[in-house]
Amino acid sequence: MDWLIGVLGLFFGFSALVFVHELGHYTLAKWNGVRVKVFSIGMGPYLISFTKSETVYAFSLIPMGGYVKMLGQEDLNVDLEPANIGKKNSKDYRNKSPGQRAAILAAGAGFNLIFALLAFTICYYYGVEVDAPRVGYVSSDSPLAQAEMLNAKNERVPHPLQEGDLIRSLDGVPVRSFIDVSLYVAGAGRDHEIQVDYERDGVPVHDPVFVRSRFNAQIGAPYIGMERYGKKETHKLGFAIEKPVRVFVDEAKPGSPAMRAGLLPGDEILSIDGQPVQDLSTLPKAIKEADGKEQTLGVKREDKNLNIAIKAERIEEGGKTVYRIGLQMCTSPVEEIDETCEAYEQGLRKGYFLTHVEKMRDKDHLYVEYENLQASPPAKGKLILPFNSRTKSGLLYSFAPPEQVEIKCDTFVEALALAWSDLVRHSTAVFTVIKGLIMRDIDPKALSSPLGIGVSIFQTSVQRPFMYYFWFLAFLSVNLGVLQFVPIPLLDGWHLLVIGIEKLKGSPLPQRFLEYSQYAGILIILALLVLALSNDIRRMF
């Protein structure tokens, strides 16, 4: 059932965004008397089509993108000569004024932004739950742990942010969700000092607190070490995790110091230079303090205790030296499990590790991913468990799902005002990200392709309530609309630029230039798609 919901959510999501965009072009073309030859959702051969009033309406085979084909508009076979010279065709796109053509082109992105505004308004009026901007786990070397406060004597003193602190604004800009924080930090650039206003235990902290952003090579963007905050819940699911916490190797990245040292999935890390490793933060802290010197890991592999020498790699990130050994870790395995419980029936066993746990959209089920690190290669599986699981034992499982906060306005006008504010905020963030890519504050590895976006839509439709899914589509619609204004050949922004130059010049640009620019656009778009697709594949595998 969840696969069906995910597929339907994915299909509806992509189709809705494309439909809204192409509807903008279609509506303004009709309004200005241009004949629309084809209105297609998707690309390639038609799956379903019908013709009405000189227009073919179609769903096409490839469910990516879509198009409106107008009489006289050819992207790759440009002909700027007016149609039927001497017998002017009023339905030909080329025969329309620069202002009319610009309106037709801008309408696609404009409709995406209008859709986003309306969708945000509906979400905020009826209420939508988003991840709270509350600080989760804070590692000892993260920017949040190195925050400073300006005290009454105008002195800078260390003031680390703590797990549970609720962020209210960044540089005076209000934030209402975790994604607001992430977008603002990414747009602020690397090595940027950010003033953080927050609450601790429900009490506002009035003295100015400053956090300096740092470039994170893994995600390819600036960050402050913000993790989602999870509020602990306990449910009778028929299995329990081993206590106290122990740390195991999940993966040693190819070519990393961890792989060269011979660490294997399933190895239990007992110590580093004689210091016990009791949680996931102990090892990174010890590696940082060693400053690149060789260290000794105490490792348990099956029934053997081993001492493994390892030396971290030195990496420069945002002007700061950090050390990495290329190791992904996980904590304690399942210690006990009732053979009558549903988790056991779905494949979970004693000794398996839970690698991902999340509440599903109905909030009555738990989505779990697990691994058996003892298998070769490690075996993986998924569970969907109701909170009222069938079990004969009293075994309890505790987890901490991300805290949710509801955004809900009392009046429609208030919701509209908040929606407009977010539309402006997210639109500005897109341009800020583009600027960051140009200035190298953001690495191209942070880009995502339609594959990654599709995975996000699929997961959101399965795991989150409908209103959040609707909000997420609005967020994507903002991004799609704004990106269309970027002046890259093939995009609407390029055509608008050409029309603007034509208006100033008083005559069309040379036909050969326009044709070559379109081919250049194809190469640019393909290169960006290949890069973004490789990023998504790397993240997935």
Let me know if the fold of 129-229+401-407 is the same as that of 233-399: yes
Q: What is the DSSP letter of 347?
A: T
The full set of domain ranges for the chain reads 2-127+471-540, 129-229+401-407, 233-399
Q: Which two tokens stand for residue 123?
A: 């979400």
Helix (H, G, I), strand (E, B) or coil at 79: coil
In 53-183, the DSSP E strands lie at 55-70, 128-131, 148-150, 156-158, 166-170, 173-174
Q: Using one digit for the tens of pLDDT, what is the confidence trace for 255-290?
A: 888 888 898 888 888 888 888 887 777 788 788 778
Q: Which two tokens stand for residue 301?
A: 């592999």
Q: Which two tokens stand for residue 206?
A: 């009035």
Helix (H, G, I), strand (E, B) or coil at 153: coil
How far does Cα 173 stand from its chain's mean position?
A: 21
d(CA 198, CA 138): 15
The reply to whether 22 belongs to the active site is: yes
Beta bridge partners of 509: none
Helix (H, G, I), strand (E, B) or coil at 416: helix
Beta bridge partners of 89: none
Helix (H, G, I), strand (E, B) or coil at 516: helix
CATH topology of domain 233-399: Pdz3 Domain (2.30.42)
d(CA 319, CA 217): 12
Helix (H, G, I), strand (E, B) or coil at 325: coil
d(CA 230, CA 181): 16
For residues 360 and 367, the answer to whether their CB atoms sit within 8 Å is yes
Neighbours of 440 (CB within 10 A): 11
d(CA 403, CA 134): 8
Q: Which two tokens stand for residue 223?
A: 């960050």
Q: Which two tokens stand for residue 87?
A: 């017998």
Q: What is the DSSP letter of 349?
A: -
Superfamily of domain 129-229+401-407: PDZ domain (2.30.42.10)
d(CA 510, CA 320): 50
Q: Which two tokens stand for residue 48?
A: 């379903």
* pLDDT at site 76: 54
Q: Which two tokens stand for residue 345?
A: 């029936």
Q: Using one digit for the tens of pLDDT, what is the confidence trace for 475-522?
A: 999 999 999 998 888 888 888 998 898 888 888 888 888 888 888 888
What single letter denotes the amino acid at residue 39? F
Q: Using one digit for the tens of pLDDT, what is the confidence trace for 288-310?
A: 778 788 899 999 888 888 999 99
How do the pLDDT tens digits run along the chain, 541 residues long? 677 888 888 888 988 998 999 999 999 999 999 999 999 988 888 889 899 888 899 988 877 678 889 988 765 554 445 444 435 678 888 888 888 999 999 999 999 999 999 999 999 999 999 999 999 878 777 889 899 998 878 888 999 999 899 999 999 999 999 999 998 998 888 889 999 999 999 899 888 899 999 887 767 788 898 888 888 888 899 999 887 777 888 778 888 888 888 988 888 888 888 888 877 777 887 887 787 888 999 998 888 889 999 988 887 765 667 788 888 887 788 999 999 999 999 999 998 988 888 888 777 888 898 988 777 777 889 999 998 888 888 888 888 888 889 999 999 999 999 999 999 999 998 888 888 888 877 888 778 888 888 888 988 888 888 999 999 999 999 999 999 998 888 888 888 998 898 888 888 888 888 888 888 888 988 888 888 888 878 777 6
Among candidate residues 22, 129, 251, 342, the one labeled active-site is 22
CA 419 vs CA 108, 113, 114, 136, 498: distances in Å: 20, 11, 11, 27, 32
